Structure 1
């Protein structure tokens, strides 16, 4: 019984440490991503806005079961509604 209790305690400790480590790594990755986004925005805010819109379009239109009710001239569709450049 003591062996099982010790093993369960150690298992809990290992899982807690792994979760903590994964959250630290995730936080570091999020910080790098935020810095990268900030640099991209500062270099070309119009392109960055376009890219973020494409990401939003992909997320919305590939999600499957969700429904959105928007006006065709909604800001969400700002890049889809632009006239083609000559």
Structure 2
């Protein structure tokens, strides 16, 4: 292997590392919870989870017939709801 080939290989490897380190990761999307997730979080029946998702202040997202809630908004809502019920 000649000096030129060694230098080219080193430069190529350095460029690959540089490109790999500067690639931006896509922004993480918020997780959407469904009724089963709400049911597990509240330790309740599916029917009651659907009932809770219909509360006026619940951060519900309707997609056709589907009901979803963003995970972060659900836990924020839950912490506010717990505070109100303990007062």
Bigger Cα Rg: 2
> With structure 1 as the length reference, what TM-score do the two structures score?
0.31
Return the structure number with greater strand share: 2
> With structure 2 as the length reference, what TM-score do the two structures score?
0.31
Return the structure number with greater helix share: 1
